[in-house]
Amino acid sequence: MTHKVILDTDPGIDDAMAIAYAIAHPDIELLALTTIFGNVRTHEATRNALALLEHWDSDADVAEGESAPVSMPANEPSYLVHGRNGLGGVDIPASSRSKHALGAVDYIIEATKRHPGEIVLCAIGPLTNLARLLERDPEVVSRLKAVVVMGGAVHRKGNVTPVAEANFWNDPHAADAVLGASWPLVLAPLDCTMPVVFTPDFMQALADENPKLGKPLATMARFYSRFYRSHQGLGGCVPHDVMALTWLTVPGAFRLQKGALGVVTEGPAIGQTLFQPGGTQSRARCFDGRADHLVMVDTDAQMFMADYMMVMTRHAG
């Protein structure tokens, strides 16, 4: 079964890991990367998206997205985590290609009209493009096959504040709107990403088996791992964004819960994910009228890592 995918992304080292997986997987047809701020600024995300696609021989489109959050000033990019160029200082040559004439929101609208019911929108950065998409074309919820979001922290603590995950923290108003929409949505929060650590040995094996894809990722991972070692004591790095794609290809690797979701949009808990499990009740009015969505709350790390290595090295040359 082939999945037509638009990847909404702010590349980003773990974004690059996801982009490489999307290119390599035989069951993913990568239609486009739509870019957003977060790990880097939007124009830098567009530059990185174009460069990575050309370096890895993909002809997917790149459509540039929003440059600021829906209702607040933009936070500083995550250069500390991902490096000043977003790719851990790895020099990927600039692409000779140009971004698409349509912006991200218009691109998604047009693509879903050409392929109604066929496209999966995987969002692995702040959700500003998706919130603007809902504003501009509310009917898009019926034309998408699925929406998979990497973001939030349901039962775990946050990674930029004690309660907030980075993507939701960077535009909490957009995240709240996206989680409240009635489209077929699956959430991949820190609950399912943090159990997986790509060790230096794992990344070196990837580089040895497939130099084209693996070598630049292994070099990026060394930069990324320094952050995880110094801030969380991990012996490697966490490939958060890949989860949004492996939900499509290896759903059995994840444990799921179902429930209504929201995001705190002000105060010291801004960006916190709110979750009311299906079948339960509370007096919190923030969940009124919200559909239940699937949440990936844990991961079989060995299954996930075996799949990633297999996919990334199956056509090594």
Q: According to the model, what pLDDT value does residue 28 have? A: 98
Q: Which domain holds residue 111?
A: 3-313
End-to-end CA distance of the chain, in Å?
Answer: 25
CATH of the domain at 29: 3.90.245.10
User: Which sequence positions are flagged as catalytic?
Assistant: 10, 240
* Site of tokens 């943090």: 194
User: What pLDDT, on the 0 to 100 scale, is given for residue 125?
Assistant: 98
Position 33, amino acid = L
**Domains in the chain, number:** 1
pLDDT of residue 314: 85
pLDDT value for 317: 54
Q: In what order do the strands lie in the sheet with 61-63?
A: 61-63, 28-35, 3-9, 119-123, 144-150, 185-188, 293-299, 254-263, 273-277
CB 77 within 8 A of CB 39: yes
pTM comes to: 0.97
Residue 180 C-beta-side C-alpha neighbours within 13 Å: 18
The rounded average pLDDT for each run of 10 residues, N- to C-terminus, in the chain (317 residues) is: 95 98 97 98 98 97 98 95 96 96 98 98 98 98 98 97 98 98 97 97 97 96 94 93 97 97 97 93 83 96 97 79
Q: What is the DSSP string of 120-175?
A: EEEE-S-SHHHHHHHHH-GGGGGTEEEEEEE---SSS--SSSSSB-HHHHH-HHHH
Sequence letter at residue 79? Y
